[in-house]
Amino acid sequence: MNPGIEEVLLAEPRGFCAGVDRAIEIVERAIAKFGAPIYVRHEIVHNTYVVNELKAKGAIFIEDLADVPAGATLVFSAHGVSKAVQQEARDRGFDIFDATCPLVTKVHVEVAKLAKEGYEFIMIGHKGHPEVEGTMGQLTSGIHLVEDVADVADVSPAQTEKLAVVTQTTLSVDDAAEIAAAVRARFPKVREPKQQDICYATQNRQDAVKIMSPQVDIVIVVGSPTSSNSNRLRELAQRLGTESYMVDSADELKPEWFEGKGRVGLTAGASAPEVLVREVIDRVRAFGAVSVRKMDGIEETIKFPLPKGLKLDDIPPPGHIS
């Protein structure tokens, strides 16, 4: 019990975005329509709770398509896949549902279109992240990854007349702007997207943390270690000078973090369900928090359509995770 905690401030918006909601619903509806098991390439979204819930409902998560039996139904995760993975899945004859977030697909489409016009690309993103592998894998060559400003000096495109920038959708808005400026300084003719590839959900959650951080003594981010946008939220709060921690579940909260803290800021990455936020609130109340207040913020109303074949009204989303 920590009598010092007066209030929990809830960031708005937080948690599930439209792409995550759609990806989870695709798996749930596929299980309802075709029966278990349904195979999912990579974690459908980077959240331990979501993955375990879907496993319990009959999803099997794999990384290698060789582990999927012939005739199976396969779902691609929200992060998107390379052309090579798409082709392999088709060659193996799976029934495929693509849960790639439409905002990631938009980047893939842009890359394909500009590549046909002779462009090479500089991709700003994190090496090894499945979204980066999927986007870079739209081409077999001519796409160069930069992770930070230092990398910009080392990148060596074959030509600089037709060069375009693309970014991972879940980056730090501020870091991406700094790296893009370094790219622009080195390659003044570089083409940049009209609108940043960083998605609305990433932008809105970071904006909310910027407003919340100065008002609190500690920030808790609900998110899994693999979640890019959740990590960026924790880093952002820390950079703004507020002690911050990311937790996968309420069990990971440590009472000593809250000693001497009057106000606790709470947010959640785009792949973290609200049920986990509720559990964190309950735990912080048990530590002594007196009240919970939702901050004002943007109301997100975006919803992405489901793929053909899973839209039927007669397939209810059974116990949709939220």
Q: 250 is written with which tokens?
A: 């309420």
17 contacts ligand SF4 (rule: CB under 6 A)? yes
Q: Give yes or no for residue 233 binding ligand SF4 (CB under 6 A).
A: no
Residue 259 annotated among the catalytic residues of the structure: no
Binding part of the chain for ligand SF4, among 35-43, 80-88, 89-97, 98-106 by CB under 6 A, reads: 98-106
Distance separating alpha carbons of residues 114 and 279, to the nearest angstrom: 46
Judged by CB under 6 A, which of 15, 19, 130, 223 binds ligand SF4?
A: 19
104 binds ligand SF4 (CB under 6 A): yes
Toward ligand SF4, which CB reaches closer, 85 or 199? 199
Cis peptide before 318 (omega within 30 of 0): no
Comparing CB distances to ligand SF4, the nearer of 21 and 248 is 21
Q: Which of residues 167-206 bind ligand SF4 (CB under 6 A)?
A: 169-170, 199, 201-202
C-alpha distances out from residue 275 to 56, 253, 266, 280, Å = 17, 16, 13, 9
CB of 250 to ligand SF4, least distance (A): 23
Phi, psi of 130 (to 5 degrees): -60, -30
- The amino acid that residue 293 corresponds to is R
Q: How many CB atoms lie within 10 A of CB 127?
A: 11
**Please, which residue, 189 or 303, has the CB nearer to ligand SF4?**
303
Cis preceding linkage at 307, omega within 30: no
Asked whether position 315 contacts ligand SF4 by CB under 6 A, the answer is: no
| Residues near 41 by beta carbon (within 8 Å), at least 6 away in sequence | 61, 62, 63, 65, 74, 75, 76, 77, 81, 85, 89
Report if residue 75 touches ligand SF4, rule: CB under 6 A: no
Of the pair 262, 317, the CB lying nearest ligand SF4 is at 317
- Contacts with ligand SF4 by CB under 6 A: the residue count is 15
- Catalytic residues, by residue number, are 131
Binding-site ranges for ligand SF4 (CB under 6 A): 17-20, 78, 101, 103-104, 169-170, 199, 201-202, 229, 270
